[in-house]
Amino acid sequence: MSGQWSEDLIPVEQARTLDGLFRLRVRRSPDALAYTHFDRVTKRWEDYSWRQMAAAVGRWQRALAAEKLNEGDRVGVILRNCPEWVAFDIAALGMGLVTVPLYTDDRPDNIAYILDDAAIRLLLVQDAGRWKRLAPLTIECEALQRVVLLDSASEARKFTRNDERVTTAAGWLPEQDAEPRERDGDPAALASIVYTSGTTGRPKGVMLSHHNMLSNAHASLTAIDCYRQDVFLSFLPLSHTLERTAGYYLPMLAGARVAFSRSVAQLANDLTEIRPTALIAVPRIFERVYARMVGQLDKESPLARYLFRRTIDTGWRRFERQQGRAGWSPQLLLWPLLDRLVARKVREKLGGRLRIAISGGAALSPEISRIFLGLGVPIVQGYGLTETSPVISVNRLSDNLPIGVGPPLRGVTVRIGENDELLVKSSGVMLGYWNNHAATAAMIDPDGWLHTGDQARLQDGHIVITGRIKDILVLSNGEKIPPGDMEVAIALDPMFEQVVVVGEGRPFLSALVVLEPVKWREYLEARGLDPNDASLLKDKKIQREMLKRIGAALKDFPGYAKIRRVTLLLEPWTLEDGLITPTLKLKRARVLERHADEVEAMYADGPGS
């Protein structure tokens, strides 16, 4: 990148609130680029300066003011990541309103529940298609007085004629630009209610204050440097607290630019077009990139596969030496050649100038870390909860222990409680759950410690997550096994798309496995078998072969962590079926309920091999 890396950080004490942060950023760098967005009409990337964003915020505030909303009222947003998401959020916060972000791909019944539970007064929706699915379920939502559709297509205009609550943004927003409102807001006031996409039961509304999110973004900056010249590629939904705090408020604090990806499906193209310097992702993204690399390698020569493995081994040794955990080796002399032949080509597909990639939201497999670090991709793992705004800890580039999730952020205190549970205190800890005092009391004890539900140990000042209390499987012999790590390891095999390990109260472990359809077809065709023959999923010989693949994936696990039975499936577990959350976490109990008969069948005739 041309030019010097330079900092322009806004102090939290000056910003005070999230809308205060925005106003300060506009004053500091009015003509600097704030956001880049792909216009689906012009088919071009469009840039927005901070000055332009301020004018947009002012317009949204004038429109909101006409709705006679009161301070503390809740407003909802169901949009893809875009400049309008930011303008609406800042406009609402600057009027003392409370933003409730919703996932664009969440189930309509889930959204309707949140609209009712939070008594949302106004809702901003991406398009008529989404509103059409949601509208019939909002009849009971008495508080909802206004629905604004961002798109103005003919179907959207039809809704405006048939439902007095509905309008289009084009008709609702004033034509003239306006200055954002000045206010002296309370940093401790409620800013947002973020509903956790819980893997069990109804979602709970996490109440976060301005100071919660602002202080967390600032503390993250003390661990990860961020510069005015940085370019973030934003593709995790802004309704995900990790993206909102670290991919939206944090770049605003630093004066960095954010480019909004067109979609996860177009992420590969966006990476090479935007060429980001910073990336925030969940492990599934890195797993998919790895699966693609493996798929391409399968078609390459044995020499290419050997070079790839050698590059990762050498690159990993280089990384460990840089971290001060390994000495020099003659093997390192090969790095410049291997980097040119292999590693640099992979980094170019990620844009070629990535300064840092942060993985959060779920556990990143140490094997995936090793592969990307070995290829020279600067990936660090972080950890947090929506209830902590969300970041608790993150590895530093110069102190990166991939098996862990890094040291706690500045201002975050942790300790290990009963049953090895990680307990946390910080200024990012939520105000509580919306309308749910019992759940709040269960999460935050009388001494102010938030109970994460995760088991952990501390190693050289780093937090290492060892399991999840509720997800521990206890076999009938008393052996305790955290299935999550096993599932991640099995899913690294490109043949397996989704995995649930089962065995609670049973004599041995089994697995429900959703196969990757292309790999499954290729596997059968290579053996002269009919890919359309569904009975092959129950073929004993094929199941034994799949168990061998699973065993190879689990070779580094203890002997008792052995899968003895497998059920092969082709139909994926989806959000629409209620089997995964919008953040792609499996709802284990729902999956087991759906496949109760298959689970029983795996235990019907003894332990097998």
Side-chain-side CA neighbours of 116 within 13 Å: the count stands at 15
- Give residue 472's pLDDT: 78
Q: Are 379 and 369 in contact (CB under 8 A)?
A: yes
Strands of the sheet with 509-515, listed across from one edge: 496-502, 509-515, 563-569
Q: Is the dihedral of CA 437, 439, 441, 444 positive or negative?
A: negative
DSSP 206: E
What does the alpha-carbon distance between residue 338 and residue 334 come to, in Å, rounded to a whole number? 6
- Give residue 317's pLDDT: 98
Q: Are 511 and 550 in contact (CB under 8 A)?
A: yes
What does the alpha-carbon distance between residue 410 and residue 363 come to, in Å, rounded to a whole number? 22
Q: Are 493 and 519 in contact (CB under 8 A)?
A: no
- Give residue 1's pLDDT: 45
Cβ-based neighbours of 199, under 8 Å, separated by 6 or more: 581, 585, 586, 587, 588, 589
- Give residue 2's pLDDT: 46
Q: Is the dihedral of CA 17, 232, 243, 399 positive or negative?
A: negative
Mean pLDDT by 10 residues, the chain (609 residues): 80 98 98 97 96 98 97 98 98 98 91 96 96 94 96 89 93 93 97 80 90 98 96 95 97 98 94 97 88 88 96 98 97 98 97 97 88 98 97 98 97 96 98 95 96 95 89 76 86 94 90 96 95 94 96 83 94 91 84 94 74
- Helices and strands, counts by H and E, the chain: 23, 25
What does the alpha-carbon distance between residue 171 and residue 194 come to, in Å, rounded to a whole number? 29
Q: How many beta carbons lie within 10 A of that of residue 275, not counting itself?
A: 17
Residue appearing with tokens 């999460």: 443
What does the alpha-carbon distance between residue 37 and residue 137 come to, in Å, rounded to a whole number? 32
| SS3 letters across 245-312 | HHHHHHHHHHCCEEEECCCCCCHHHHHHHHCCCEEEECHHHHHHHHHHHHHHHCCCCHHHHHHHHHHH
* Phi, psi values for residue 230, rounded to 5°: -70, 150
Helix (H, G, I), strand (E, B) or coil at 474: strand
pTM: 0.86
Cα separation values, 451 from 233, 384, 420, 485, Å:
32, 12, 11, 21
Q: Rounded to 10 degrees, what is the CA torsion of 244, 249, 255, 257?
A: 10
Cβ-based neighbours of 511, under 8 Å, separated by 6 or more: 490, 499, 500, 501, 502, 550, 563, 565, 566, 567
Residue appearing with tokens 């309920």: 593
Which two structure tokens, joined as six digits, stand for 291? 């699966």
Q: Are 566 and 511 in contact (CB under 8 A)?
A: yes
> Where do the domains of the chain lie, and which CATH numbers do they carry?
12-185 (3.40.50.12780), 280-460 (2.30.38.10), 471-602 (3.30.300.30)
- Give residue 294's pLDDT: 87
- Give residue 529's pLDDT: 95
Residues in a beta bridge with 194: 206
What does the alpha-carbon distance between residue 64 and residue 42 come to, in Å, rounded to a whole number? 28
Q: For 299-374, where are the E strands, in sequence order? A: 356-359
Q: Residue type for 27, please?
A: R
Helix (H, G, I), strand (E, B) or coil at 68: coil
- Give residue 361's pLDDT: 85
Q: Are 16 and 210 in contact (CB under 8 A)?
A: yes
Number of residues that this document lists for the chain = 609
Helix (H, G, I), strand (E, B) or coil at 227: coil
Q: 355: left (phi > 0), else alpha (psi -120 to 50), else beta?
A: alpha
